[in-house]
Amino acid sequence: MTLDLRSDPITLTAALIDIPSVSRDEAAIADAVEVALREQTAGFEIVRNGNAVLARTNRGLPTRVLLAGHLDTVPIADNVPGHFTTEDGEQVLYGCGSVDMKSGDAVFLHLAATVAEPVCDLTLIFYDCEEIAAEFNGLGRIERELPEWLDADLAILGEPSAGWIEAGCQGTLRARLTVTGVRAHTARNWLGDNAIHHLAPILQRLESYSAREVEIDGCVYREGLSAVGVSGGVAGNVVPDEAEVLVNFRFAPDRTLEQAAEHVRSVFDGLNVEFELTDGAPGALPGLTSPAAKDLVEMVHSHGGGGVRAKYGWTDVSRFAALGVPAVNFGPGDPNLAHKVDEHVPTDQITTVAEILRNYLLGKH
């Protein structure tokens, strides 16, 4: 399978869709990408690492922009090869990976082959195993084995964002709230103290919790505090002496993990409840104040992109943020269609993203 990087990125997306690349089975697509980069680009140092392909220029320019995309997809569900249709007068491309994220990969590959003189040094990383457990993530492997390859002034991940810049990420923590009572036989329940009944005020506070919205660098982060588990009970004839609620707090990146935990604890102030933080990960600030990021934001605003918004959930953007590299998601496709059987992308989004990034790399404003 030969990829023509100079073809329209829409065509290139369709070609990538037609190379099946379910996680842990990316050898064929990585081979095709590596060969195409070696044969159809100039000025790149190219390295193969497992089923990841890395390429970078070393022209000594003051700014380095990193473009990263994963090559793997979720399991195929009768949606490969892809196909084009027209819906409401617009061309749409269906297929596994059309959104997540072969359209983003296609844009990056096309730019690598067609932008001859970018104003910045470029690093491209096409990696494997993003869709499965974090331990297998190809970008994580690169971080361990080739950490210098992740150095950049701005990292752009081509994850589907419908042409919006999605930046930063919320933090997450989980906590266990335990209430206690006194065990007794239900036939004489007045001798006991029912721990499950004592969950009422805890759940009431969750039900009435008013979540904060915070704007940082133009991104609005909306927090959320959710019960994700509740359990209690000894037997059908026993007043239980213990019950617990597990909560998950998604918090804006202006709180540290410690501050977020303290906030959750304070939600239950005055209740007789034991609070235990079970796990958590800090958020990542959007980092859109760096010059390289500001330029991209301006370009998106002035060229018909969607604008800037917060990224919900933990993504590989956070990996760069943790390394101190400003990072954003910016790619074609509605993220809500990712992993769906009817995954599809309006092709004009591919064109728009490619055009914005081309102008950005050429320093056009």
Verify whether residue 131 is a known catalytic residue: no
- Catalytic site residue from 26, 130, 316, 334: 130
For its own copies (CB under 8 A), the number of binding residues is 47
Task: Identify each DSSP E strand in the chain by its residue range.
Answer: 45-49, 52-56, 64-70, 83-87, 90-94, 121-127, 154-157, 164-167, 171-180, 184-185, 213-216, 219-222, 224-232, 238-239, 242-251, 274-281, 307-310, 327-329, 344-346
- Asked if 200 is part of the footprint of its own copies (rule: CB under 8 A), the reply reads yes
Q: Which residue from 218, 224, 271, 340 is in contact with its own copies, where contact means CB under 8 A?
A: 224
Residues 152-181, one symbol each (x = binds its own copies by CB under 8 A, - = not), give ------------------x-x-x-------
- Contact present, 292 and 120 (Cβ < 8 Å): yes
Using CA atoms, how far residue 200 sits from 143, 175, 232, 240, 271, in Å, is 46, 17, 13, 14, 11
Q: Which residue from 76, 119, 146, 206 is in contact with its own copies, where contact means CB under 8 A?
A: 206
- Contact present, 15 and 32 (Cβ < 8 Å): no
Least Å from the CB of residue 248 to its own copies: 5
What is the C-alpha separation between 329 and 315, in angstroms, rounded?
Answer: 9
- Contact present, 306 and 57 (Cβ < 8 Å): no
User: Toward its own copies, which CB reaches closer, 15 or 173?
Assistant: 173
Residue listed under structure tokens 């379910």: 22
User: Toward its own copies, which CB reaches closer, 59 or 222?
Assistant: 222
User: Toward its own copies, which CB reaches closer, 82 or 171?
Assistant: 171
- Asked if 231 is part of the footprint of its own copies (rule: CB under 8 A), the reply reads yes
- Asked if 53 is part of the footprint of its own copies (rule: CB under 8 A), the reply reads no
- Asked if 199 is part of the footprint of its own copies (rule: CB under 8 A), the reply reads yes
Q: Which of 122, 130, 167 is nearest to 29 (CA)?
A: 130
What is the C-alpha separation between 130 and 53, in angstroms, rounded?
Answer: 14
- Asked if 272 is part of the footprint of its own copies (rule: CB under 8 A), the reply reads no
Say if residue 78 is exposed, middle or buried (CB neighbours under 10 Å; 0-12, 13-18, 19+).
Answer: exposed
- Catalytic site residue from 26, 34, 72, 166: 72
- Asked if 248 is part of the footprint of its own copies (rule: CB under 8 A), the reply reads yes
The tokens of 194 are what?
A: 């029912």
Q: Which residue from 160, 232, 280, 282 is in contact with its own copies, where contact means CB under 8 A?
A: 232
The tokens of 220 are what?
A: 């609005």
Q: Which residue from 58, 186, 266, 289 is in contact with its own copies, where contact means CB under 8 A?
A: 186
- Asked if 313 is part of the footprint of its own copies (rule: CB under 8 A), the reply reads yes
- Asked if 207 is part of the footprint of its own copies (rule: CB under 8 A), the reply reads yes
Q: Give the contacts of 40 (CB within 8 A, at least 6 positions apart).
A: 4, 5, 6, 113
Residue type, position 262, single letter = E
- Asked if 133 is part of the footprint of its own copies (rule: CB under 8 A), the reply reads no
User: Toward its own copies, which CB reaches closer, 117 or 269?
Assistant: 269
User: Toward its own copies, which CB reaches closer, 86 or 208?
Assistant: 208
- Asked if 212 is part of the footprint of its own copies (rule: CB under 8 A), the reply reads no
Q: Which residue from 312, 351, 355, 362 is in contact with its own copies, where contact means CB under 8 A?
A: 312
Least Å from the CB of residue 184 to its own copies: 9
Verify whether residue 72 is a known catalytic residue: yes
Count of C-beta atoms within a 10 Å radius of residue 237 = 10
Q: Which of 171, 312, 310, 315 is nearest to 250 (CA)?
A: 171
Q: Which residues are catalytic?
A: 72, 130
Q: Which residues bind its own copies (CB under 8 A)?
A: 170, 172, 174, 185-190, 192, 194, 196-201, 203-204, 206-207, 211, 222, 224-240, 243, 245-246, 248, 250, 312-313
